[in-house]
Structure formats: C-alpha cells, structure tokens
Structure 1
C-alpha cells in the first residue's frame, strides 16, 4: 500500500500541471494582484470561439472576437484578458496581428484553484513571434481606440469620451437605473 501511495504521489507531481512553472525567463512587472505570477511561455494565437466551438472566421475574427493563447507546453487555452496598460484594457488589439502564429509572451498569469473561473487568465505585457529578437509591447489599445474615434479627442480618460459609453449613459443614466432615478440619486448624493 505504501509503495502504491508513493507511486501515486510521484505520478501527480510529475504531471504537466504540477511541473509547469512559467515564471522562468519572465521579466513581467507585477500589478500586485491576488494570485498573480510572472509567466513566460510559447503559444499559438487563436480565436477562442473557433477553438471551443469550431465556428472559425478569417484572421481570428478581425477584432470582433476574443483572442486566446494555446500554450505549447501543455495545450491549455489561456485567456489574455488584459494588456500592459493600467486601464485594464483587453489584449485582443495587441494579439490580433499575431493571429495563427506561434509567439512568446511575457506577462502575469492569474490562477487560483479556490476561485471558480480564475484559471489561466493572462495579462500580456510583451509579445514576439517565436524566433524574433524584438518584443512588441502590449500597449496599443488606447492608440487604436483614438484612431477609431477621432471625434472623441480631448482631455481625460478615454471612457469619459467614448461615444458608445456616453450613448449608454444618456439612455440609462450613470447608475444604469434610468435617467429619473439617476437624477434623484445625484441630487441626494451631491447636492
């Protein structure tokens, strides 16, 4: 029985999930987030919908779909939901030029077995095609947003000027409870 228990324990420790330590080689900067760990790995840039359902489009959806990283070391589909910018913008804009290519990424991996859904969530900070020397910083979201919305130029954070955000607020109010309730709350809180 003791030999069986020891063999089982050694087999579990040898499994890819237990052996994988993606921190080696990472130069990612900490965001001081719960369960973050530096993670450097090779992956194929994929369309998540295509990978999961088989509903595939050209060029990973051309920006209309969420992008994923199919990690080479273990075949795990990693969700890069943040880029290197402080506003927690998504990483799809930064990864789209690499659609279908094998890349190396450096960033922070969030993984917590105790929180359902907090597994293999990635915050990509740098990307480069495998074999390339130069890194691409994952910080182009705001520039892409500005190019898409030149009418929203001005001071302040992008989301205060975003036409979609402002249209939604105009319809539902700042609290999403309707304009009438919004006005009551603003009066109560700020006057």
Structure 2
C-alpha cells in the first residue's frame, strides 16, 4: 500500500505527532547535546524517498541515491541525515545495503519544529530484522576512500575530495565566484 499511495504515506508522515511519541525505550544511542534531540530506537523499512514521495521508483535504491526510514509504528518518513561518525557525513552508505528491507535503528531524533527540524535522524547503529547483528553506522569514509583512490593522502577527506576541490576552483572557498572572492578578501581582510 505504501508504494501504491505515496501521497498517503507523506500525509501520515507530516501529520504524525512525532514529539508526542516516545521511541527512547531500549536505546543505547550516545547523546550529543543537540537542541531538540531524543534517543530513538525503532523499526522501519529502508526506502528511497523519491520513490515514496513521487511514485517514481524506476531508479529506487540506485547507487548514489539517498535513503529514508519509513517508521513501522506510524508510517512517518524519517530522514537519516547523519551517521555515527564524528565527522559530518550522511547515512546513505550505511543504509544502502538495507534498501527495501525492514530494519531496527538506534540513534538520535531531532524534533525542533520552531526551527524547521522534524523527523531528522542521526542513525548510530542498524540491524536487519528479524535477527541481524547490530552494525555501527561508520561506513562513509571507507566507501569514500574506495570511490576516490586518487585522493589518498593525509588530512580530512573533504580537503581531498575531487568534487569539493572542483567546486572551490570554480566558485571559490566562499561560493561567491573566484573574482568576487578575491575582491572580498582584499577589501575586507587585506589579503592579496
């Protein structure tokens, strides 16, 4: 039914009073001290959000696509925007192997409607149901290194990422454009 009526799944997701439900029971998530965070452990289907929201499912779960969690308890569409690594990386690499499967996840839910954050999730560990082993969500840097062998070296991955370096070369570090950035640095900071 979820695939047949993506608009209903979206409506259920938006209408679900997530803040009123408590998914903290049994959670072993590490708290980060974020505004609006709550420990949250729940069962969900790992889905392709474009497929769920638009019904366009031809490329569902294709490499490079984002993943979402369709929570079993209330059909809320949860966006796992971060994994468990201390660097700010997404959870797509950790969720991709489970696409189309029912899993249990444990992590931190961010609910801060005043600032537009609702159903935002940091997944810290995941397991396939019914009896999979818990796996930490820390695959991003290994997956990135495999996909970018030419960028091996010291320092943080993002300083060596070819896509980021190309964007900086085209738009500057501030995203203003190279010429505009040079003028800004000269005018504001005296850097030539």
Alignment CA distance shift 1:60-1:88 (3 Å): same
| 1:22 paired to 2:19 | no
Task: Report the secondary structure of 2:73's partner residue.
Answer: coil
Residue 57 of structure 2 is matched in structure 1 by: 56
Work out which of the two has the higher radius of gyration on C-alpha atoms and give 1 or 2.
Answer: 1
Alignment CA distance shift 1:18-1:107 (3 Å): closer
Give the Cα–Cα distance (whole angstroms) in 2 for the partners of residues 145 and 72 of structure 1.
Answer: 31
Residue 4 of structure 1 is matched in structure 2 by: none
Equivalent positions of 1:103-142 (< 5 A) are 103-116=103-116, 118-142=117-141
User: C-alpha offsets along residues 5-51 of structure 1, whole Å, 9 cap, x if unaligned?
Assistant: xxxxxxxxxx9757521000000001111101000000000000000
Residue 9 of structure 1 is matched in structure 2 by: none
**Cα drift, residue 87 of structure 1:** 1.7
- Contact 1:29–1:107 (CA under 8 A) maintained in structure 2: yes
Alignment CA distance shift 1:114-1:179 (3 Å): closer
| 1:38 paired to 2:42 | no
User: C-alpha offsets along residues 134-172 of structure 1, whole Å, 9 cap, x if unaligned?
Assistant: 211101001100110010011111111011111111111
User: C-alpha offsets along residues 48-104 of structure 1, whole Å, 9 cap, x if unaligned?
Assistant: 0000000013551223x2201010111111111110012221111100000111000
Structure 1 runs (4+) greater than 3 angstroms displaced:
15-19, 184-188
Root-mean-square deviation over aligned CA pairs: 1.9
Residue 161 of structure 1 is matched in structure 2 by: 160
Q: What are the ranges of 5 or more consecutive residues in structure 2 without an aligned counterpart?
A: 1-15
Give the Cα–Cα distance (whole angstroms) in 2 for the partners of residues 26 and 46 of structure 1.
Answer: 22
Aligned residues: 175
Q: What are the ranges of 5 or more consecutive residues in structure 1 without an aligned counterpart?
A: 1-14
Residue 68 of structure 1 is matched in structure 2 by: 68
Task: Report the secondary structure of 2:112's partner residue.
Answer: coil
With the length of structure 2 as denominator, give the TM-score of the two structures.
0.84
Alignment CA distance shift 1:158-1:18 (3 Å): closer
User: C-alpha offsets along residues 100-141 of structure 1, whole Å, 9 cap, x if unaligned?
Assistant: 11000000000123233x111110000001122521110100
Residue 171 of structure 2 is matched in structure 1 by: 172
Alignment CA distance shift 1:190-1:29 (3 Å): farther
